Copies of this chain bind each other. A is one copy, B any other.
Amino acid sequence: MYSVAGVNVYVIERKVAPTIHEVARAARVSIATVSRVINGLNAGYTKETRDRVLRVVDKLGYAPNTIARTMITRKTGAIGVLVPDLSSMFSAHILRGIEECSLRNGRNVFVSHTESNGRRTLDYLKVLYEKRIDGVIFLSEVLRPEYRAYLEKHSIPVVLLATRTPAGDIPYVKVDDRAASYDGVSALIGLGHRSIGMLSGSMEDPIAGAPRVEGYRSALADHGIRVDDSLIIDAHGFHFGCVEQAGSRIDPLLSRVTAFFCASDELAAGLLNHVIRRGLDVPGSMSILGYDDLPITTMVIPSLSTIRQPLVEMGDCAAMMLLDLVDSAAGRKQQVFPHTVVLRESTRDLGKG
């Protein structure tokens, strides 16, 4: 686009913000008194001075510089959230819970998109620390030794969300993945399914991978169904797109199972798409069960049955736990949220015809 010099240029001039000194001078009091008033200390000034100060504050449009306050109180009121995947529905919901709690408590949240990249995560951790955030929430990824070392070295309060350390020695909030999968697969069995496949996220993932497969196995075993490893497919990820890459491994199973348990709703949506395009009917000839209960479950046809995790509440809780830790140097060690199996249209009851 052609633009005459200056036409597409925007110029601003920034006026300097008034400081506590200006307020003090205009109100004919000391800065100490102004400080007392704006911080609402219950003593140290008469009603008259208070009103006078407040009037000046209003007139000057004075707003305290939190940065300066931070230097003294050593609390920035900011927390960092490390998200592996910023544009997934999953992260978006969790983030909303975190943000909500933060707002309620007068804190702000820095979003940090790590893309599951070690270098980037470490860089972010560094920047956040230099900004002296009060703490961080680490989302749905394995807390690598390097991350942990950094956090401990600088004693940065942290709570893990939708993930945990093997020893459980760092505060976390999660659902019980193994139990959730167990219940979901049991529900499938309850519907009459005996040949059930699994589309796993990433089997090496010790949090959202292995435990969900384990739950699947136990459910089958406990119901007297032989576990057939060839019915388990590793999608190497939890995204919609991962299904396509696993397509050729999925196809051979289509005639061998009547149902598929997927480690995420996106995988379930991907599988649904894949299966329908292969000409199969869902749930007529194939049932599908997802995990998470994201909005996508009700946007597709048939709507997806799933295992619900209360993501927003979990985010809120994690933020609350972190703030407790920040404010009182102590807090809960973990919080396990209840899951719910939600049956919609994508799962067929084989009992009824």
Contacts and interface: CB of A to CB of B under 8 A. Distances in A.
Most buried by B among A87, A100, A298: A87
Interface residues on A, range: 35 or more
Given A10-B331, A96-B113, A331-B9, A130 B63 contact: yes
Nearest to A127: B108
Given A67-B76, A276-B301, A111 B113 contact: no
Contacts of A240: 295, 298-299
Given A87-B92, A92-B86, A325 B131 contact: no
Nearest to A128: B108
A273 B296 contact: no
A65 interface: yes
Counted per complex, copies of this chain come to 2
A240 B295 CA distance: 9
A93 interface: yes
Interface stretch (A46-54, A152-160, A246-254): A152-160
Contacts of A78: 110, 131
A295 B295 CA distance: 13
Interface in A62-110: 63-68, 70-71, 76-78, 86-89, 91-93, 95-96, 99-100, 103, 106, 108-110
Interface string A283-300: 000000000000110111
A126 interface: yes
B299 A61 contact: no
A241 to B, nearest CB: 9
A13 interface: yes
A168 B295 CA distance: 35
A225 interface: no
A10 B334 CA distance: 9
A333 interface: yes
Interface string A1-42: 100000111111111010000000000000000000000000
A15 to B, nearest CB: 5
B92 A96 contact: no
Given A109-B111, A299-B300, A329 B86 contact: no
A153 B108 CA distance: 22
A258 B106 CA distance: 51
Interface of A: 1, 7-15, 17, 61, 63-68, 70-71, 76-78, 86-89, 91-93, 95-96, 99-100, 103, 106, 108-113, 120, 124, 126-132, 153-155, 157, 170-171, 240, 269-270, 273, 276-277, 295-296, 298-301, 325, 329-334, 336
